[in-house]
Structure 1
Amino acid sequence: MDHRTPVRRAARNAVLALLVLTTSTGCAGGVEGTPGAAGLHDPYFPKLGNGGYDVTHYDLALDVDAPARRLRGTATITARATQDLSAFNLDLVGLTVQSATVEGRPAAVNRAGHELTLRPDADVESHLRKGRTFRTVVRYSGTPQTITDPDKSKEGWLRTADGAVALGEPTGSMAWFPGNNHPSDKASYDITVTVAKGLTAVSNGELASRATSGGTTTYHWHVAEPMASYLATVAIGRFDMKSSTTPDGIKVFTAADTKVAADSARVLARVPEVVKWEAERFGPYPFSATGAIVGRSGDAGYALETQNRPYFPGPPGTGLLVHEMAHQWFGNSVTPESWRDMWLNEGFATYAEWMWEADKENNPVQGRFDAAFEDDDNWAFPPADPPTAADISQAPVYGRGAMVIHKIRQAVHDDKRFFALVKGWTRAHRHGNASTADFTAYVERTTGKDLTKLWNTWLYGRSRPASEG
């Protein structure tokens, strides 16, 4: 029997009701659900990416003052909740957030490092139920940062002589727009960039429009197919631009800095040839547009397979063009599930170089394999298990990754069957994500062979075998 007075019982019941409400919603009067995770526990970058939602589209509107090195941006992000959400995170470094809304209602914003936490208004809770689509708008500005990778290379927003270039592998996209910065969450994009008249803004996908008004020009680029955030790019400067269409209907757009345009013209003219050659080996080209961006030597320390048009710091050789274009299949269309699966990108792209040399320069693939086998750098660690984040772009991921592909080709014993296997892989995971485990299982299922010895020696082995046989 309860001997407390009715008043005290009423007070107690009110407190209990409040506790129940707080427990079930995360905060009194808030959205029913729980916060999305602040990281996806990637084996090398555990704090990158965010849980609780899947982005389907980014609409990025950027106003770039290149001389002042300032950017104003509005990111409209359409996403689907994968759980009942009370809050969720975006990755953004350096830039200042002016405001954020979810479904048109103001959202509370908290910053901690590169984590941007949004807590939506209670009035939009029905839009944050599992399976529902919701729209977030973030307005931000500031001076975009250059990020130093674990391997000491530079990415993010890189300043150039007359503008900038944005490069995102593996973490850099968060330097210029907020997002779910992990390869496992791919989306379509609209990227609109306004720059001073006389400058050009080149990005991914197809050029939807270009308009000059007063002293500025606005470029709108549309990416219809899914793209991982690390593959998004913007290059701002003075470019010599050319456009055409292949017989297969693929739009070709190249942009070369005016200082290197003449030296770049010959290799850029081979883009359609390279795409056709690779499509014959890897399956249909996976995108509606292709091309390349060529900056000046020193603008960046590396080339990058930015989607639709790879970026090159200076005129590339044909082999490098072949490598980066191969990534349109391996890395861009079939995207790694995590950064541990990087060898699937680089191994295939390196093997594409070997095959091109065999077909076009009479340099047999086996000769390239033998040279890679003798290269001590390729045996520093297993390609499928780099020891640290600083190692995901080191020699074994490339050279020994390519050796894995060649050993599969030898195991198949028939080039027709080997290329059918490769085409089946790019078809099965077109515009998706795949892991090393997915790949090894697929190869064994397709060939009907137990390739445990191959994987243990070439993919996971920690020492060079006595012979390559």
Structure 2
Amino acid sequence: MRQSRRQGVRSTTVLRREALTATVPVALAALLAAAGPASAGTGGAPGAGDPYFPLAGNGGYHVDHYGLTLRYDPASRHLDGTAVLTARATQHLTRFDLDFTGLKITGLTVDRAKAQYRRDGQELVVTPSRRLHPGEEFHVTVSYSGTPKPVTDPDGSLDGWIPTDDGAFVAGEPQGAMTWFPANNHPRDKSSYDITVTVPAGRTAVSNGVLVGQRTRHGRTTFHWRQREPMAAYLATATVGKFKVEQYNTRDGLRVYNAVDPREASQAAPVLKKLPSVLEWESKLFGPYPFRAAGSIVDRAPNVGYALETQSRPVYDSAPDLSTLVHENAHQWFGDSVSLTSWKDIWLNEGFATYAEWLYSEQHGGDSAQKSFDALYARPASDGLWAFPPGDPGSGAHIFDTPVYARGAMTLHELRGSVGDRTFFRILRTWAAVHRAGHGTTAQFVHLAERESGKNLDPLFTTWLYSRGKPNHA
């Protein structure tokens, strides 16, 4: 989700964001490569075939692991980086693409041998010195430098490496990962990460997962972060700033790391204090928390306008309210652990996280989910809530618009009413468990809901996910 502060679903809330083994995404990548355009020749496809972002991701290989070593100077906004990608070919390859834009390449090798490359828009086309074979592991090392610049999304917002007055706000949904490291940048391809960032002493660099090392030498501090559980590239962060840091373990053993801009600290403190109880509540509802680490990055980034569910540690452009905290952490199950196979299905992320807000309110003395539903349904047929069906927003320009969030949540409430609470919450927990560290589609969710409930739910989902205009409601 990108939880936007420019749009509102309701008056009090704002919009926009050990596991199964890595063989889940590997198998999926292999299936895609066999079925997709890449199978026609020995060049990996320049995109994963997503209808909304055709050039996002790449065919012909899966990335098992990213090793990113970065050095950033906030004063000059200069970034030096080395990315080592451990990948596996899913077809014969004489060339393959990476998503990477803007920064100057200073060196590129495949298995330590110099490789040829060319730039084609956001595509970095690599020709290794020898042919790669299906199932073969290979290593791509890319060195680069320059001033990273964010990309402008179809809805006009920025994502990627976004400079701030004391560092950078790094949030990659849906396209921005390619602004600071070369990637197979589609949610279908999930990997583990080691991210090491060196910044001037006094600055903090915050990333995903567990902090495994920190040292200061010669006026610079290096932070080494490790995210072992599979992660889509858009969920990676390396946010830099002057932060007040808090670390502790929850009673369930989660390692919490909060980094807060001092200018936001007083407003953020009472909300962040609730993080352990929010995660405990969500774990009871959705199943075990899917990662080893948790936390928050609260920056001051007035030009951003949204929060994002960066994996294991959401990033906020200012102090969040409680609903936003609930929303972003619900994404750790729905969106991060269970990832999309197509951006068209984004309601599986945003509708679920929005409904988590409704449930939290309902169970903590606020409005019931029914009252939230009724307030939205009272909107006239001309309202933007009914502008398009959430199951098919129509383009990348609409994936963070109100129908995806609010009508997506309304779909889940209709499902709850149809199957009853006991079955409904079993569906949510089963969805999170079966697809943990992997991927899911709307068709798979509908199938699961029908299997668990024993009902034909096609009319419900057709009406609430795919019909145009305001649905009829008894």
Structure 2-normalised TM-score? 0.90
Corresponding position of 2:248: 244
Q: Residue 303 of structure 1 aligns to a residue in which SS?
A: strand
- Is the aligned partner of 1:202 residue 2:206? yes
- Is the aligned partner of 1:179 residue 2:152? no
Q: Residue 85 of structure 1 aligns to a residue in which SS?
A: coil
Match of residue 438, structure 1, among 439, 444, 449:
444
**Alpha-carbon contact 2:423-2:452 (below 8 Å) kept:** no
Q: Residue 94 of structure 2 aligns to a residue in which SS?
A: strand
Cα distance between partner residues in 2 of 1:385 and 1:334:
19
Corresponding position of 1:170: 174
Q: CA deviation at 1:262?
A: 2.1
Greater C-alpha radius of gyration:
1
Cα distance between partner residues in 2 of 1:465 and 1:346:
20
Q: CA deviation at 1:99?
A: 1.1
Q: CA deviation at 1:203?
A: 0.7
Corresponding position of 1:393: 400
- Is the aligned partner of 1:148 residue 2:152? yes
Corresponding position of 1:52: 60
**Alpha-carbon contact 1:72-1:140 (below 8 Å) kept:** yes
Q: Residue 436 of structure 2 aligns to a residue in which SS?
A: coil
**Alpha-carbon contact 2:164-2:301 (below 8 Å) kept:** no
Q: Residue 259 of structure 1 aligns to a residue in which SS?
A: helix
Cα distance between partner residues in 1 of 2:471 and 2:141:
55
Q: Residues 380-459 of structure 1 correspond to what in structure 2 (within 5 A)?
A: 380-413=387-420, 415-459=421-465
Corresponding position of 1:61: 69
Cα distance between partner residues in 2 of 1:35 and 1:362:
55
- Is the aligned partner of 1:361 residue 2:368? no
Q: CA deviation at 1:299?
A: 4.8
For residues 358-385 of structure 1, give each alpha carbon's deviation from its aligned partner in whole angstroms, at most 9, with x where no partner exists: 1112311100011122232221110011
Match of residue 334, structure 2, among 315, 330, 333:
330
Q: CA deviation at 1:266?
A: 1.1
Corresponding position of 1:23: none
Cα distance between partner residues in 1 of 2:392 and 2:401:
12
Match of residue 92, structure 1, among 79, 93, 100:
100
Corresponding position of 1:254: 258
- Is the aligned partner of 1:38 residue 2:42? no
Cα distance change of structure 1 residues 293 and 397 upon mapping to structure 2, 3 Å threshold = same
- Is the aligned partner of 1:311 residue 2:315? yes
Match of residue 373, structure 1, among 367, 370, 377:
377
Q: CA deviation at 1:297?
A: 5.0
- Structure 2 counterpart of 1:365, one-letter code: A
Q: Residue 134 of structure 2 aligns to a residue in which SS?
A: coil
- Structure 2 counterpart of 1:389, one-letter code: G
Q: CA deviation at 1:275?
A: 0.3
Query: How many pairs does the alignment contain?
Result: 431
Cα distance change of structure 1 residues 143 and 297 upon mapping to structure 2, 3 Å threshold = closer
Cα distance between partner residues in 2 of 1:196 and 1:362:
45
Q: CA deviation at 1:40?
A: 1.4
**Alpha-carbon contact 1:186-1:226 (below 8 Å) kept:** yes
For residues 11-47 of structure 1, give each alpha carbon's deviation from its aligned partner in whole angstroms, at most 9, with x where no partner exists: xxxxxxxxxxxxxxxxxxxxxx701001112110001
Q: Residue 64 of structure 2 aligns to a residue in which SS?
A: strand
Q: Residue 50 of structure 1 aligns to a residue in which SS?
A: coil
Q: Residue 361 of structure 1 aligns to a residue in which SS?
A: coil
Q: Residues 184-195 of structure 1 correspond to what in structure 2 (within 5 A)?
A: 184-195=188-199
- Structure 2 counterpart of 1:403, one-letter code: M
Cα distance between partner residues in 2 of 1:288 and 1:344:
23
Cα distance between partner residues in 1 of 2:139 and 2:471:
54
Q: Residue 62 of structure 1 aligns to a residue in which SS?
A: strand
Q: CA deviation at 1:168?
A: 0.3
- Structure 2 counterpart of 1:454, one-letter code: L
Structure 1-normalised TM-score? 0.90
Q: CA deviation at 1:446?
A: 1.9
Q: Residue 349 of structure 2 aligns to a residue in which SS?
A: helix
Q: CA deviation at 1:316?
A: 0.7
Corresponding position of 1:298: 302
Cα distance between partner residues in 2 of 1:301 and 1:233:
17
Moved more, 183-192 or 432-441: 432-441
Q: CA deviation at 1:283?
A: 0.6
Q: CA deviation at 1:141?
A: 0.6
**Alpha-carbon contact 2:169-2:301 (below 8 Å) kept:** no
For residues 155-184 of structure 1, give each alpha carbon's deviation from its aligned partner in whole angstroms, at most 9, with x where no partner exists: 111111111111100000100000101011
**Structure 1: which 5+ residue stretches go unaligned?**
1-32
**Alpha-carbon contact 1:145-1:156 (below 8 Å) kept:** yes
- Structure 2 counterpart of 1:336, one-letter code: L
- Is the aligned partner of 1:229 residue 2:223? no
**Alpha-carbon contact 1:159-1:299 (below 8 Å) kept:** no
Cα distance between partner residues in 1 of 2:145 and 2:461:
48
**Alpha-carbon contact 2:57-2:184 (below 8 Å) kept:** yes
**Structure 2: which 5+ residue stretches go unaligned?**
1-40
Q: CA deviation at 1:416?
A: 2.2
Cα distance between partner residues in 2 of 1:309 and 1:401:
24
Cα distance between partner residues in 1 of 2:385 and 2:360:
21
Moved more, 188-197 or 366-375: 366-375
Alignment root-mean-square deviation, CA: 1.0
**Alpha-carbon contact 2:411-2:465 (below 8 Å) kept:** yes
For residues 340-375 of structure 1, give each alpha carbon's deviation from its aligned partner in whole angstroms, at most 9, with x where no partner exists: 010000000000000111111231110001112223
Q: Which has the higher contact order (CA 8 A, sep 6+)?
A: 2
- Structure 1 counterpart of 2:453, one-letter code: T
Q: Residues 74-85 of structure 1 correspond to what in structure 2 (within 5 A)?
A: 74-85=82-93
